[in-house]
Amino acid sequence: MNDFEFCSPTDFVFGKGVESRAGALCAAQGARRVLVVYGGGSAVRSGLLGRLESSLEAAGLVWDAIGGVQPNPMDDKVYEGIRQARETGTDFVLAVGGGSVIDTAKAIAVGVPYVGDFWDFFAGKAVPEVALPVGVVLTIPAAGSEGSGNSVITKGDGLRKLSLRTDRLLRPVFALMNPEVTYTLPAYQTACGVVDMVVHILERYFSPSAGTEVTDRLCEGLLAAITALGPKVLGAPCDYDLRANLMWAGTLAHNGLCGTGRTEDWASHFMEHEVSALYGVAHGAGLAVIVPAWMAYVSRQKPERAAQMAVRVFGFDPAMPMEAAARYGVEQLKLFFLRMGMPVSFRQMGVEHPDVDLLVRKLHEDKGSAIGGYVRLTADDTRAIYELAR
Ligand code: NZQ
Ligand code: ZN
């Protein structure tokens, strides 16, 4: 087990109606002027935004809003938000949405006090030291950004989708999580979210580090719960307990707990980010295509983790050979994604002819010549994996 430091400072406020506490929580953080960031309109149509505005007003706060953040968020909205926040004197950013909105809010928060171009942080040219505080009202369990210190933004010029990773600076100060707010999610978005949280666990579970039994069991317990809950939620989208458990699972999958004491992988995410940047597909759908191909490929060299997953999560006979167990694990994962209505190949995702040359070139330009903590992958390997996913 590796040495580690685990800090998850976010105040998670969970349950029915918790959005009514937004104003009081912002005020408690010393906010005076709040910038509300939201997406393409689901939060307006559901009435959530109206309820939040009432809560902010009741707490005596002045607020401004910036909407229209699109999935796989782009840098132009961040620049617009930074301009607006500087003009109005914003001192607190409130994200109302999922990963795309939260990541845009975080990028605005880190860009406002910085004299240079916020993209410097994403391109690795500068390290942020200060940021405005960010609060979250979560509307989709998926990206886990409500509990992570990361932000993922795509630069329109060159379609470079890059992440800024911070240990603490960009972790939201609070996250308001009302499962009822997620009842309006279309089945496809629910399924994309489920895939993303499963993969956030796998990125940490597929680790070269030994001696992490507790972290392993945390991951396996979450995987067992999510794979049982996912199909049920599709059949009962307004079941409170199903939605609630899924929402909390999404946070636990990505707040760092599942990676404690070990080296993580992240090759699948790096590979997928190129796909969603280039083809505009939902991040979860892109992962459903890449991850089974990736897992099958790395398991040929190192079957241990897929085999353990097969036995402990999918009930495979532990007496059987490890290679057979690994193959079973990959197949079960794929079947689960299919049961959730997800594509498991580029073709099924509607990308008939993926430009593998371009994907591989961009991937290694942005992420280095070798990626992945479990098995190191060079351009030959990632090319083979993209090909497997066709
Ligand atoms: O824009 P609106 O109208 O709100 O619609 C959204 C959007 O179309 C809709 N939606 C959200 N809540 C809803 C709802 N529709 C009905 N009812 C609701 N309650 O769902 C669609 C997808 O939203 P989005 O925010 O894009 O989803 P998600 O949370 O999956 O975020 C994906 C983004 O997060 C990044 C991904 O790469 C992608 O850009 N990630 C961020 C991470 C992080 N910051 O730590 C980690 C992840 O691995 C991921 O890379
Ligand atoms: Zn993800």
3-class secondary structure, 156? coil
Query: Which residues fall inside 5 Å of ion ligand 2, going by CB?
Result: 196
Counting from 1 in the atom list of ligand 1, the atom nearest the Cα of 69 is: 1
* CA distances in angstroms from 61 to 22, 23, 92, 247, listed in the order given: 11, 7, 11, 29
| Ligand 1 neighbourhood includes 99 CB (under 6 angstroms) | yes
Instruction: Quote the pLDDT of residue 310.
Output: 98
| Ligand 1 neighbourhood includes 104 CB (under 6 angstroms) | no
Counting from 1 in the atom list of ligand 1, the atom nearest the Cα of 73 is: 39
Instruction: Quote the pLDDT of residue 342.
Output: 98
Q: What is the mean pLDDT of the chain?
A: 98
Could you give the CA distance from residue 174 to residue 196 in angstroms, rounded to a whole number? 22
- Binned at pLDDT 50, 70 and 90, residue 260 comes out as very high
- Of the candidates 103, 115, 247, the one whose C-alpha atom is nearest the C-alpha of residue 166 is 103
**323 C-alpha to ligand 2 centroid (Å):** 27
Contacts of 247 (CB under 8 A, 6+ apart): 14, 138, 141, 177, 179, 182
- Binned at pLDDT 50, 70 and 90, residue 145 comes out as very high
Q: What is the pLDDT of residues 74-123, one digit of tens each?
A: 999 999 999 999 999 999 999 999 999 999 999 999 999 999 999 999 99
Average pLDDT over residues 339-361: 98
Map out the domains of the chain as residue ranges: 11-181, 187-388
Residues in the chain: 390
- Binned at pLDDT 50, 70 and 90, residue 128 comes out as very high
Residue to mutate (ligand 1; options 103, 204, 243; most atoms within 8 A of CB): 103
**50 C-alpha to ligand 2 centroid (Å):** 29
Counting from 1 in the atom list of ligand 1, the atom nearest the Cα of 148 is: 45
Smallest-distance ligand from the CA of 38: 1
Cα atoms in the 13 Å half-sphere on the side-chain side of 351: 24
Average pLDDT over residues 39-47: 97
Instruction: Quote the pLDDT of residue 359.
Output: 98
**125 C-alpha to ligand 1 centroid (Å):** 27
What pairing do the DSSP bridges indicate for beta strands 150-155 and 160-165? antiparallel
Q: Which amino acid is at 22?
A: A
Average pLDDT over residues 25-49: 97
Q: What is the pLDDT of residues 13-27, one digit of tens each?
A: 999 999 999 999 999
Average pLDDT over residues 189-217: 98
| Ligand 1 neighbourhood includes 100 CB (under 6 angstroms) | yes
Q: What is the pLDDT of residues 368-384, one digit of tens each?
A: 999 999 999 999 999 99
Residue nearest ligand 1's atom 38 by CA = 72
Average pLDDT over residues 119-144: 98
Smallest-distance ligand from the CA of 196: 2
Smallest-distance ligand from the CA of 103: 1
**217 C-alpha to ligand 1 centroid (Å):** 28
Helices (runs of H) and strands (runs of E) counted in the chain: 15, 8
- One of 3.30.460.80, 3.40.50.720, 3.40.50.1970, 3.30.70.270 is the CATH number of 11-181, namely 3.40.50.1970
Tell me which architecture the domain covering 187-388 has in CATH.
Up-down Bundle (1.20)
| Ligand 1 neighbourhood includes 43 CB (under 6 angstroms) | yes
0.95 exceeded by the pTM?
yes
